[in-house]
């Protein structure tokens, strides 16, 4: 029999909390699991009703995602030598041959370049700006900070047309640089505000100690402030990456060829020879992976980052 405690939740409360958390986790994770599962179904399985939970796994979705295919008449197929690779065999079963690689690889690489590039740039500029705002006397500091925040007060798409025109004039349409700059411009206000909060929490004495110990301010920043701000930088980076990785509207509007990212590309898969749900699901699965890995790697920081400053140590 344990004593009644005000701060410790009772057993019943713990049970209820546990059930709620598990229910919520299931609700959010089932669609993702369904996408992963669909990626390994055959096209007929993917649209069968009632939906199949247990099915014969197939890599057809992935093969279709990475290739373009041509349908051939039966006599032409018979005339071909037997398929040399497993993926040719899969395609041949559907009376098709591989015509070449699809564009998904390039689009994915574009997403990586633009997503990580803009995240890096946002964090780099954001950290420097946040440090300046946190440590130095900046004239009109509060107004500047409010101005920076105000860039987030409307949905970015609201300025889509001016940006579209501007980018056309500047030759930034459909370029990696253009997309990196655009996502950085959107992310930087968030980065400055979040990082300023984190840097404010780092006592100035650490830097002062480093100055006294014979280091320059820049060395103190690099060796003392940055390691201390790692948590904040990591969680800010995740937020920036999630935005630029998932961004759809500007990507549709401003990219079509060389710099097109994966989000506007994935829906176009549907159009190739009917609704190829396994290929779409395979694309979505692959697309989810980098952010998932990035978040899992940094999740310790993320958790600490979100609750940072809540309790004074």
**Under rule CB under 8 A, residue 213 binds other proteins:** yes
Q: Of the ranges 106-114, 119-127, 177-185, 201-209, which one interacts with other proteins (CB under 8 A)?
A: 201-209
- The residues pairing with 96 across neighbouring beta strands, listed in sequence order, are 71
- Give me Rg for the CA atoms of the chain: 26
**Under rule CB under 8 A, residue 224 binds other proteins:** yes
Using CB under 8 A, pick the residue from 18, 203, 267, 309 that binds other proteins.
Answer: 203
- In SS3 terms, 208-237 reads as HHHHHCCCCHHHHHHHHHHHHHHHHHHHHH
**Under rule CB under 8 A, residue 212 binds other proteins:** yes
For other proteins (CB under 8 A), the number of binding residues is 16
Q: Of the ranges 37-45, 46-54, 163-171, 210-218, which one interacts with other proteins (CB under 8 A)?
A: 210-218
Count of CB atoms within 10 A of residue 143's CB?
A: 10
Decide whether 18 or 203 has the Cβ nearer to other proteins.
203
Using CB under 8 A, pick the residue from 36, 206, 239, 248 that binds other proteins.
Answer: 206
Rounded to 5 degrees, what are φ and ψ at 118? -70, -30
Q: Of the ranges 108-116, 123-131, 224-232, 297-305, which one interacts with other proteins (CB under 8 A)?
A: 224-232
State the Cα–Cα distance between residues 295 and 3, nearest whole angstrom.
40
**Under rule CB under 8 A, residue 214 binds other proteins:** yes
Decide whether 49 or 218 has the Cβ nearer to other proteins.
218
Count of CB atoms within 10 A of residue 134's CB?
A: 20
DSSP annotation of 93 reads H
Extract the tokens encoding 235: 């969680």
Using CB under 8 A, pick the residue from 25, 105, 208, 309 that binds other proteins.
Answer: 208
Using CB under 8 A, pick the residue from 215, 239, 248, 308 that binds other proteins.
Answer: 215
Question: Taking CA 188 as the corner, what is the angle to CA 182 and CA 189, rounded to the nearest 5 degrees?
Answer: 120
In order of 107, 166, 228, 282, the CA distances from 160 in angstroms are: 22, 10, 38, 30
**Under rule CB under 8 A, residue 216 binds other proteins:** yes
Q: Which of residues 227-266 bind other proteins (CB under 8 A)?
A: 227-228
Q: Which residues bind other proteins (CB under 8 A)?
A: 203, 205-206, 208-216, 219, 224, 227-228
């Amino acid at each position: 029999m344990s004593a009644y405690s005000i701060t410790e939740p009772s057993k019943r409360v713990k049970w209820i909390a546990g059930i709620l958390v598990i229910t919520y986790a299931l609700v959010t994770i089932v669609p993702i699991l369904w996408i992963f599962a669909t990626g390994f179904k055959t096209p007929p399985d993917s649209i069968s009703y009632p939906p199949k939970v247990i099915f014969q796994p197939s890599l057809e979705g992935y093969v279709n995602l990475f290739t373009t295919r041509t349908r051939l008449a039966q006599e032409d197929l018979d005339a071909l030598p037997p398929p040399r690779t497993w993926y040719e065999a899969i395609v041949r079963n559907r009376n098709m041959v591989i015509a070449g690689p699809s564009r998904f690889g390039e689009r994915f690489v574009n997403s990586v370049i633009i997503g990580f590039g803009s995240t890096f740039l946002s964090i780099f500029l954001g950290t420097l700006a946040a440090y300046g705002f946190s440590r130095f006397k900046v004239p009109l500091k509060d107004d500047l900070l409010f101005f920076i925040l105000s860039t987030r007060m409307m949905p970015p798409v609201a300025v889509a047309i001016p940006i579209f025109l501007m980018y056309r004039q500047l030759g930034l349409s459909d370029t990696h640089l253009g997309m990196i700059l655009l996502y950085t411009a959107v992310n930087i206000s968030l980065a400055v505000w979040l990082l300023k909060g984190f840097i404010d929490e780092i006592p100035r004495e650490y830097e002062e100690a480093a100055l006294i110990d014979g280091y320059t301010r820049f060395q103190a920043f690099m060796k003392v402030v940055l390691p201390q701000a790692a948590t904040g930088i990591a969680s800010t980076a995740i937020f920036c990456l999630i935005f630029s990785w998932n961004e759809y509207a500007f990507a549709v509007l401003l990219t079509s060829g060389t710099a097109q990212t994966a989000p506007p590309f994935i829906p176009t898969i549907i159009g190739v020879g009917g609704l190829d749900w396994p290929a779409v699901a395979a694309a979505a699965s692959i697309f989810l992976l980098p952010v998932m890995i990035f978040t899992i790697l940094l999740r310790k920081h993320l958790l600490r980052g979100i609750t940072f400053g809540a309790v004074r140590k």
